[in-house]
């Protein structure tokens, strides 16, 4: 698949077409083509001047700056900041700089107000304090600091370690100090004025990978993005095997915990270096992750997370001083976790709810995080319900005969016409098939009548002969050759076996029937959904029409299915920048109802139904996205 | 000096005289003599049945049980619990069991109410908790615990380490748990019912010695008393040299801190072993000490404590979880400090104020803690003022030619008649003189006209010849021989030099002029003081009439001067047992005015006046204590 795509810019009734590169920002692409879009803040996502509307084509997921500057409402209406939005496919945009509204323009280099409250809970205050001078006057060093902070301070409780070296700090720069408060409590005192340095970091600890984002707490600007494979992966690819490793074995739990702590320390180090800031100026670290990742990071016994009823040990949002976790790389920070809804609907799902704003939607929206553990939420401002379903590792290519990760040599695109054509990552000879390839292969095999509604591979009259020749009974039962051995990167044929298709059916039905269960519970059909938001890294690679074709996602028009990006990290970023958002998560926990699929007698039927691929033959063509 | 003393028991109009031993309790002495005094609680200080009044003779200092069961008012009126009170000298008591008052009698083995509130802030609650059972019901282990605790819990904040092993604990004994709250917050969770085990520990960290008391928080009973020499002593005998060692030298500060932490760990270990309890059931540790000891324990820089205006770094009462200090021996405890008034009027002085109850006295009372740093407080419920004065180490025998600690071989009693007679600790041959001996020697030398009002040693006409022979000019100027070399434990004479007397004058004037300054500030004379309470270990050994004779203490009738025992430890014990008392200390900080002696221009005159010993010749005989 080529990286070259097209950006069309619609302005003053005419469209200009610019050849673009996947991953480039809208603004850079436009500027390259000589289209002027104002970027008052210098492309830092700190103002609204480069606002565009994505009028058709693929809607790129929002950035944290989009949520901060534009808010849920505009994000939903397909507005984006051109400087922050990276192209993922052919797109048509219309620049729509906001009218000069007071409060939304740059004033002194910084937006005065934003769509999302920038109230991180961190306050840095420059004060000048005289050390006690009179013997008569009864006071102490810290009281002088507290007096200067006035009512910003809501508690006199102070960690002892802040007192230890206070005398020297107070006398270092003629009493000039910067006191940092978190939630009204002193968390740091430094000589001099460091008020401009207030940073936060957001992390999404996934079972497979860990991603982080360093943010300027005052402006919401993203200063660095970092990520790595979760170093716990060698101890179990999916949640259940990770739990099994740590279960009733404190030493193994400690080992997994150490891996997670090391990863965060490492990523903070990388981010700080990229951004050129001091780690001691990171005051808030928000971590989201599924319940298992959350508990392991905190060192909490996960033994019973793996046993029905899969109850968490704690669900409340936590705020842990870095020395207590311990997180050495950000010594002044509080590590905050979002609340957990249920054992398998974790803080990551909460973060997705926060990020997508479905809690304040007038219409019913759904969100699906496709992964080894799928998490689904459905609802609107009136009611929210959630469930989880173990899809297993098929989407990651595991338990598939020629399955592999989405790496070089993986088949990720499949078309079937007179014969089969495969698109391979990196354009190399195919060595296997990844999850998104598997979905597309099954979609095209359904279209071509190679598999029937129940997923059976069957040679039928009327198939093109080149296609028909690919169906044969091999050592592993009925199978379909995607790439002949002579053409691929290995000697043997790359095939999909009947067993592979069964694995995919189990995985995709977990998601499909989970969403179906939520719709049943809510009493709505797919037609009633204003939008289905697909979250998580995997969603980025899935061809959405194919996902609908094989009934991984509910049968609904593809233009109402949106790729929402890493919504868990987005939610973590929002909670980092805004206590309002973090508090909202706690409030939402009380509102979201958990639907325990396994405990529902009516779920079995939905699951069996979800195994099917839908009628074979060419799929009904979906309508094009809304024209300009 | 013999240990044999007399206890006279006055009952029903007749007195029985019992030969007693110093340090024995009133109750044991009475029982030995066949005098029946009821001890309903089994001599544990947990009821009021053995109440006595000390009608004359030496009033023993109150125990913590006296303060708990009887309260300030009765303690002031010379009531004591016979089972807790140890004889220090000839004493006359009258048993006065309280009338059968509801609420003060033993009910089910425990007093229902006491004179002092037993509200330690520690609550242990036995609960039965079912682990979450339903997948539908959204909850977590800790939420089940919290629900069972109801409104006893005032915060949902929970230390992460309590969550870590909660799942196993919840499932260990069919959900039977004991949750321990401190100030409404969960601080421990254990399987089974351990509600009966709730302990606290009080410490007074003095410059010279550290003493501790293990208490049952439910009853106020003292379970063990422990003590040791402060292991920081080798790094400086007095405060200023201790500060100088740590000043601008974090490594030395850390070393001193380590010594203090080790001492507390060691003493807790000893106390726990004596009492046969588990250290994990100690939930509150109250530590008092002067500001320097306080700061060192907490690891706070003391550099500026040694420089005018001697300001502390922090004055507020602290409550530090044991892992944060760290105090390993009591892992579940909070370490609480009393507030500090000023640099040299520390948490120990606050504890003395609390213990003696002078803050609620109708009449004006004074308290004096005689030590290398003397602390003085004067006042009543209407006004309280305090000051400190550096007396230096003369009272500990330092900087005195033949000075020594109050150990075997030290002269502690001196009488002068036709010749000089010395009482030596242990009855052995004298090897030196201790602080209390020094005071008594000077008192008797004043009486005998060997020294004049300004402290000069002068041979005068009319002295007995044996006394006169003892005055001579030696290598160190004019001196007075207390013990001839032929009679003592060393070859040389044990003398008091003119220089020794000057050292004592400087030391005693620090105390005397400090009290005088407070009286001046308050506008009262010694006659206006209802009571002068002498606190601290040294006070135990000082002959009070001698201390008045040499003007170490103000000239007032000795029967209004009371030895209050280790009032600092008493205050710490009260704050351990009662949050009401601990809160009172914080409230009192706002009420006590600090008088900075060095900064007062009128202090110099008082200090010079305080150097004098008063008129030579026999002292006026003080009236006997109130008759029966």
* Mean pLDDT in residue range A496-503: 95
pLDDT, position B135: 72
Judgement on whether residues B443 and B528 belong to the same structural domain of the protein: yes
pLDDT digits 0-9 by tens, B476-509: 789 999 999 887 777 889 999 999 999 999 999 9
Contact B573, B110 (CB under 8 A): no
Judgement on whether residues B154 and B58 belong to the same structural domain of the protein: no
d(CA A229, CA A263): 9
Is residue A627, in this structure, part of any structural domain at all?
Answer: no
* Mean pLDDT in residue range A552-579: 95
Out of B166, B191, B216, pick the residue that ends a domain: B191
Q: Which residue out of B312, B334, B340 would a mutagenesis test of the A interface target, given it has the greatest number of A Cβ atoms within 10 Å?
A: B312
d(CA A159, CA A58): 51
pLDDT, position B549: 95
Tokens 């009823």 belong to residue? A309
Judgement on whether residues B368 and B477 belong to the same structural domain of the protein: yes
Q: Look at residue B103 and tell me whether its pLDDT is greater than 70.
A: no
pLDDT, position B112: 54
Least confident of A464-468, B311-315, B598-602: B598-602
Tokens 């049968």 belong to residue? A555
* Mean pLDDT in residue range A222-250: 92
Q: Phi/psi of residue A49, each to 5°? A: -65, -25
* Mean pLDDT in residue range B124-149: 89
Out of B191, B211, B232, pick the residue that ends a domain: B191
pLDDT digits 0-9 by tens, B8-29: 999 888 889 999 998 999 999 9
Judgement on whether residues B498 and B605 belong to the same structural domain of the protein: yes
pLDDT digits 0-9 by tens, B365-424: 999 998 888 999 999 999 999 999 988 888 888 889 999 988 899 999 999 999 999 999
Q: Look at residue A623 and tell me whether its pLDDT is greater than 80.
A: no
Any B CB within 8 A of A586 CB: no
**pLDDT band with cut points at 50, 70 and 90 for residue B1:** very low
Q: Look at residue B628 and tell me whether its pLDDT is greater than 80.
A: no
To the nearest whole angstrom, how far is the Cα of B244 from the nearest Cα of chain A?
15
Nearest CA in chain B to A323: B324
CB contact under 8 A, B316 and A142: yes
CB burial of residue A12 (10 Å; 0-12, 13-18, 19+):
exposed
**pLDDT band with cut points at 50, 70 and 90 for residue B296:** very high
Q: Look at residue B329 and tell me whether its pLDDT is greater than 90.
A: yes
The token duo for B38 is 């009821």
Is residue A45, in this structure, part of any structural domain at all?
Answer: yes
Give exposure, A31-65, as e/b (b: 16+ Cβ within 10 Å): beeebebebbbebbbbbbbbbbbbbbbbbbbbbbb
pLDDT, position A624: 46
CATH number, position A36: 3.10.20.30
A chain contacts of residue B260, beta-carbon cutoff 8 Å: none
Judgement on whether residues B433 and B574 belong to the same structural domain of the protein: yes
Domain range for B99 is: 4-111
pLDDT, position B488: 72
* Mean pLDDT in residue range A606-617: 90
Judgement on whether residues B32 and B173 belong to the same structural domain of the protein: no
Q: Look at residue B128 and tell me whether its pLDDT is greater than 80.
A: yes
Rounded CA Rg of chain B: 26
Question: Hey, which residues 128-167 in chain B have their CB within 8 Å of chain A?
Answer: 131-143, 156, 158-161, 163-167
pLDDT digits 0-9 by tens, A103-130: 444 444 444 577 899 999 999 999 999 8
To the nearest whole angstrom, how far is the Cα of A482 from the nearest Cα of chain B?
43
pLDDT, position B131: 81
Is residue A582, in this structure, part of any structural domain at all?
Answer: yes
CATH number, position B237: 3.30.420.480
Judgement on whether residues A26 and A81 belong to the same structural domain of the protein: yes
Q: Look at residue B558 and tell me whether its pLDDT is greater than 60.
A: yes
To the nearest whole angstrom, how far is the Cα of B156 from the nearest Cα of chain A?
8
Task: Examine residue A309 and say whether the peptide bond preceding it is cis (omega within 30 degrees of 0).
Answer: yes
Is residue A557, in this structure, part of any structural domain at all?
Answer: yes
pLDDT, position A108: 44
Is residue B559, in this structure, part of any structural domain at all?
Answer: yes
Q: Look at residue A627 and tell me whether its pLDDT is greater than 60.
A: no
pLDDT, position A103: 42
Is residue A470, in this structure, part of any structural domain at all?
Answer: yes
pLDDT, position B489: 72
Q: Sheet containing B471-474: give its strands across.
A: B471-474, B477-483, B494-497
Q: Which DSSP string do the residues of B190-254 spell out, in sequence order?
A: EES--TT--EEEEEEE-SSEEEEEEEETTT--EEEEEEEE-TTGGG-SSHHHHHHHHTT-HHHHH
Q: Look at residue A407 and tell me whether its pLDDT is greater than 90.
A: no
pLDDT digits 0-9 by tens, B507-517: 999 999 999 99
d(CA A517, CA A564): 22
Judgement on whether residues A520 and A475 belong to the same structural domain of the protein: no
pLDDT above 90 as % of chain B: 76
pLDDT digits 0-9 by tens, A449-468: 999 999 999 877 888 999 99
Contact A81, A50 (CB under 8 A): yes
The token duo for B236 is 């400086």
Q: Look at residue A538 and tell me whether its pLDDT is greater than 70.
A: yes
Nearest CA in chain B to A316: B156
Q: Look at residue B109 and tell me whether its pLDDT is greater than 50.
A: no
Out of B139, B170, B191, pick the residue that ends a domain: B191
ipTM of predicted assembly, 2 dp: 0.88
Judgement on whether residues A134 and A33 belong to the same structural domain of the protein: no
Tokens 């106020």 belong to residue? B220
Is residue A342, in this structure, part of any structural domain at all?
Answer: no
pLDDT, position B406: 85
Tokens 């109150």 belong to residue? B62
Mean pLDDT of chain B: 91
* Mean pLDDT in residue range A210-228: 97
**pLDDT band with cut points at 50, 70 and 90 for residue B240:** confident
Q: How many structural domains is chain B composed of?
A: 4
Q: Look at residue B600 and tell me whether its pLDDT is greater than 70.
A: yes
Judgement on whether residues A205 and A319 belong to the same structural domain of the protein: yes
CB contact under 8 A, B299 and A160: yes
Is residue A179, in this structure, part of any structural domain at all?
Answer: yes
To the nearest whole angstrom, how far is the Cα of A480 from the nearest Cα of chain B?
41
Judgement on whether residues B390 and B462 belong to the same structural domain of the protein: yes
Tokens 């007995």 belong to residue? B464
* Mean pLDDT in residue range B538-566: 92
Size of interface A-B (CB pairs under 8 A): 152
* Mean pLDDT in residue range B582-602: 92
B chain contacts of residue A316, beta-carbon cutoff 8 Å: 142-143, 156
Q: Look at residue A470 and tell me whether its pLDDT is greater than 70.
A: yes
Q: Is the dihedral of CA B44, B118, B314, B393 positive or negative?
A: negative
For B387-406, the three-class secondary structure string (H helix, E strand, C coil) is: EEEECCHHHHCCCCCCECCC
pLDDT, position A101: 52
Judgement on whether residues A226 and A331 belong to the same structural domain of the protein: yes
């Amino acid at each position: 698949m080529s990286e070259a795509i097209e950006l069309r810019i619609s302005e003053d009734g005419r469209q200009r077409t610019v050849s673009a590169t996947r991953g480039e920002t809208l603004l850079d692409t436009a500027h390259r083509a000589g289209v002027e879009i104002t970027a008052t803040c210098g492309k830092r996502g700190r103002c609204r001047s480069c606002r565009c509307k994505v009028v058709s084509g693929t809607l790129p997921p929002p950035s944290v700056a989009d949520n901060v500057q534009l808010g849920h409402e505009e994000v939903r209406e397909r507005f984006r900041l051109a400087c922050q939005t990276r192209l993922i496919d052919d797109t048509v945009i219309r620049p729509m700089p906001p009218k000069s509204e007071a409060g939304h323009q740059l004033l002194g280099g910084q937006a005065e107000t934003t769509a999302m409250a920038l109230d991180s809970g961190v306050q840095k205050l420059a004060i000048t304090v005289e050390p006690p001078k009179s013997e008569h006057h009864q006071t102490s060093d810290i009281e002088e600091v507290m007096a200067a902070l006035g009512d910003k301070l809501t508690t006199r409780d102070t960690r002892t370690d802040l007192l230890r070296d206070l005398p020297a700090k107070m006398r270092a720069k003629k009493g000039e100090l910067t006191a940092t408060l978190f939630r009204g409590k002193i968390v740091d005192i430094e000589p001099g004025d460091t008020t401009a340095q207030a940073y936060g970091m957001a992390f999404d600890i996934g079972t497979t990978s860990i991603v982080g984002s360093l943010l300027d707490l005052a402006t919401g600007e993203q200063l660095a993005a970092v990520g790595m494979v979760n170093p716990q992966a060698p101890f179990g690819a999916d949640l259940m095997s990770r739990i099994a490793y740590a279960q009733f074995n404190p030493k193994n739990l400690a080992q997994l915990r150490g891996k997670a702590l090391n990863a965060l320390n490492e990523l903070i180090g990388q981010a700080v270096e990229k951004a050129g800031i001091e780690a001691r100026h990171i005051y808030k670290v928000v971590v989201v992750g599924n319940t298992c990742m959350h508990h392991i990071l905190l060192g909490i016994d996960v033994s019973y997370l793996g046993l029905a009823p899969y109850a968490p040990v704690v669900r409340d949002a936590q705020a842990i001083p870095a020395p207590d976790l311990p997180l050495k790389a950000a010594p002044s920070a509080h590590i905050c976790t979002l609340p957990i809804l249920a054992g398998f609907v974790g803080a990551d799902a909460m973060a997705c709810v926060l990020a997508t704003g479905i809690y304040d939607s007038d219409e019913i929206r759904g969100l699906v995080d496709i992964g080894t553990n799928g998490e689904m939420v459905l609802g609107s401002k009136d009611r929210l319900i959630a469930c989880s379903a173990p899809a297993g590792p098929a989407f990651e290519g595991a338990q598939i005969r020629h399955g592999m990760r989405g790496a070089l040599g993986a088949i990720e695109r499949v078309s079937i016409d007179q014969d089969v054509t495969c698109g391979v990552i990196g354009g190399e000879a195919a060595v296997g098939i990844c999850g998104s390839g598997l979905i597309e292969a099954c979609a095209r095999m359904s279209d071509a009548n190679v598999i029937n509604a129940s997923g059976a591979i069957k040679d039928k009259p009327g198939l093109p002969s080149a296609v028909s020749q690919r169906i044969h009974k091999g050592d592993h039962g009925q199978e379909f050759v995607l790439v002949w051995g002579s053409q691929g990167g290995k000697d043997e044929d790359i095939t999909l076996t009947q067993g592979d298709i069964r694995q995919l059916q189990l995985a995709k039905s977990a998601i499909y029937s989970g969403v179906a269960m939520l719709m049943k519970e809510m009493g709505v059909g797919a037609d009633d959904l204003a939008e289905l938001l697909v979250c998580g890294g995997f969603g980025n690679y899935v061809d959405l029409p194919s996902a609908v074709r094989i009934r991984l996602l509910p049968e609904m028009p593809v233009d109402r299915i949106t790729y929402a990006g890493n919504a868990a990290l987005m939610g973590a970023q929002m909670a980092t920048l805004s206590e309002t958002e973090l508090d909202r998560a706690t409030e939402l926990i009380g509102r979201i109802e958990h639907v325990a699929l396994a405990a529902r007698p009516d779920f079995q039927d939905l699951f069996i139904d979800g195994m099917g691929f839908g009628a074979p033959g060419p799929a009904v063509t979906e309508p094009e996205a809304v024209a300009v």
